[in-house]
Chains A and B, each alone.
Chain A
Amino acid sequence: EVQVVESGGGLAQPGGSLRLSCAASGFTFNSYDMKWVRQAPGKGLEWLSHISSSSSIIYYADSVKGRFTISRDNAKNSLYLQMNSLRAEDSAVYYCAASKQYYYMDVWGKGATVTVSS
């Protein structure tokens, strides 16, 4: 079964850090670009970051640039998002998504909830 599963969500204090992981299975991970997308409670979808299959191309949304770092380990079929300097407005469900073609998102995980609060 083709799937991605996020983990690592939880409660963090403002200014704190969290690291999200995404485990992929059922497809050739090293052939897919990957993205992180988030959804604040009751809101729409916001793209955060993209990493190409070989990690050679990385993009960030302005809202997280300089604070979040995307990375992947193709040997472990895993994607990561290191989140630093967290703010209350970063509270959201964070989705990992796989892209066969970089311009859309084929496979989505169920999401990991991040809450930033003191």
Chain B
Amino acid sequence: EIVLTQSPGTLSLSPGERATLSCRASQNISSTYLAWYQQKPGQAPRLLIYGASSRATGIPDRFSGSGSGTDFTLTISRLEPEDFAVYYCQQCGGSPLWTFGQGTKVEIK
């Protein structure tokens, strides 16, 4: 089973600051199969990044993804008020076939 571990669990930042979220896989995964989602309270998840670094349609360019192998990063260059949410990484190809990290909450400091 491929386990995705996200860190930190909670990130307390102010609007305008840079957020760096980590997702570490228990074994190598192809960058093609790594995605990031944003979820706000009471809402469905929204696809932000696929293929580790490609932004989904309509996602602002302050969101960027990077990484390879076992270490992946989601960066929000300047936090906007609407960016405070929970972020999940997700991989495909292990067993179970699709797994999510436990999430990182980005909260207002």
Contact = CB atoms under 8 A, between A and B. Distances in A.
Interface of A: 35, 37, 44-47, 50, 59, 61-62, 95, 101-111
A45 B100 contact: yes
Interface size for chain B: under 10, 10 to 19, 20 to 34, or 35 or more residues?
20 to 34
Interface of B: 32-33, 35, 37, 39, 43-47, 50, 56, 88, 90, 92-93, 96-103
30 contacts: A35-B98, A37-B45, A44-B103, A45-B39, A45-B45, A45-B88, A46-B100, A47-B96, A47-B97, A47-B98, A59-B97, A61-B96, A62-B96, A101-B50, A103-B32, A103-B35, A103-B50, A103-B93, A103-B98, A104-B33, A104-B90, A105-B35, A105-B37, A105-B47, A106-B47, A106-B56, A108-B46, A109-B44, A110-B43, A111-B44
Contacts of A95: 44-45
A108 B98 contact: no
Contacts of B96: 47, 61-62
**Most chain-B CB neighbours within 10 Å: which of A47, A109, A110, A111?**
A47
A44 B100 contact: yes
A50 B97 contact: yes
B53 to A, nearest CB: 13
A103 B29 CA distance: 12
Contacts of A109: 44
A104 B35 contact: yes
Contact of A102 (B46, B88, B92): B92
Contact of A108 (B35, B44, B103): B44
A35 B90 CA distance: 14
B61 to A, nearest CB: 19
A103 B33 contact: yes
Nearest to A109: B44
Given A44-B88, A44-B102, A45-B88, A104 B97 contact: no
A78 B62 CA distance: 35
A22 B56 CA distance: 23
A104 B47 contact: yes
A110 B44 contact: yes
